[in-house]
Amino acid sequence: TQLLEQSPQFLSIQEGENLTVYCNSSSVFSSLQWYRQEPGEGPVLLVTVVTGGEVKKLKRLTFQFGDARKDSSLHITAAQTGDTGLYLCALEDSSYKLIFGSGTRLLVRP
Amino acid sequence: SAVISQKPSRDICQRGTSLTIQCQVDSQVTMMFWYRQQPGQSLTLIATANQGSEATYESGFVIDKFPISRPNLTFSTLTVSNMSPEDSSIYLCSVGFGNTEAFFGQGTRLTVV
């Protein structure tokens, strides 16, 4: 059983469209990280959310941490082809190990 | 921050052989982690490698199959032993600094034929 479930698993959209990716857990976590991985590369951190209800913006990306700290979302406005990649949510356990969600593979078509 | 060099970047290996993947970090770090990423999947933690102690393996991974070395604070190796096609994956090393960003190597894409 995956500790962090992401949805959708795969998303194919046209450039300019908006999209939302979800990360859900049955457990409460103290913080959550979002990473993006491009082909042939390792994941790169986009943001860390810490406070329940927190909203963080990174250009066209908006990250939200649920009030109960059991879920998070990533919204992309006006997607571009450069947004294509694998989006991963992750939490750090008490041993500083990163546990990744199931991932959402995004394809933005020109 | 940390810059991680991982090699080889890719390899094609015969079944039954072993491959050692190297991970070099540009700064001293206590904790290094090895992950496996199967085709189209997310990352799964294989083990934690701390300098001066035995690696700690996650459920489903054993030392005989994935021996790890950690000779100093900037270097680690992961060996994939007695390979089978099911071991075809991307293997990534990572470092973290506790409750902050994790940094990853670019990965080693392994194909076992």
Query: For position A95, what pLDDT does the model report?
Result: 78
The dihedral built from the CA positions of residue A76, A82, A87 and A93, taken in this order, carries a sign that is negative
Contact A55, A46 (CB under 8 A): no
Q: Which residues pair with A76 in a beta bridge?
A: A19, A61
Predicted local confidence at residue A94, as pLDDT: 77
Mutate to test the interface with B, among A98, A99, A105 (most CBs of B within 10 A): A98
Which position has the higher pLDDT, A49 or B79?
Answer: B79
The residue to which tokens 């109960």 are assigned: A68
User: Is residue A81 a contact partner of residue B16, using CB atoms and an 8 Å limit?
Assistant: no
**Residue A97 one-letter amino acid:** K
- Which band of pLDDT confidence, cut at 50, 70 and 90, is reported for residue B99? low
Say if residues A25 and A71 touch (Cβ distance below 8 Å): yes
Q: What angle do CA A58, B104, B107 make, to 5 degrees?
A: 120
Q: Look at strands A10-14 and A104-109 and give their pairing.
A: parallel
Q: Which of A42, A2, A60, A19 shows the shortest CA–CA distance to B33?
A: A42
Work out the pLDDT band at A2, boundaries 50, 70, 90. low
Give A86's contacts in chain B (Cβ within 8 Å). Answer: 42
**What confidence score (pLDDT) does residue A96 get?**
79
pLDDT in tens, A44-86: 999 999 888 999 999 999 999 999 989 999 999 999 999 999 9
Average pLDDT, chain A: 93
The pair of structure tokens assigned to A12 is 């194919």
B41–A33: do the CB atoms touch at under 8 Å?
Answer: no
Give the distance from residue B42's alpha carbon to the nearest chain A alpha carbon, in angstroms.
5
- Residue A38 is part of which domain span? 5-109
Nearest to B107 among A33, A42, A95 (CB): A42
Burial B24-46 (b: 16+ CB within 10 A, else e): ebeeebebbbbbbbeeeebbebb
Domains held by chain A: number: 1
Structure tokens at B6: 């991982």
Chain B residues touching chain A at CB-CB below 8 Å: 4, 31, 33, 40-45, 48, 92, 94, 96, 98-107, 109
Q: Is A48 close to B100, i.e. CB distance below 8 A?
A: yes
Tally the residues of chain B: 113
> Under a CB-based contact definition with an 8 Å cutoff, are residues B87 and B80 in contact?
yes
Residue A96's domain is classified under what CATH number? Answer: 2.60.40.10
Q: What angle do CA A8, A45, A48 make, to 5 degrees?
A: 85
Residue B98 has pLDDT above 70, yes or no: no
> Which tens digit of pLDDT belongs to each residue from B23-78?
999 999 988 999 999 988 999 999 999 888 889 999 999 999 999 999 999 999 99
For chain B, domains (ranges, CATH) are 4-112 (2.60.40.10)
| Cβ–Cβ contact A88 with B under 8 A | yes
Average pLDDT, chain B: 94
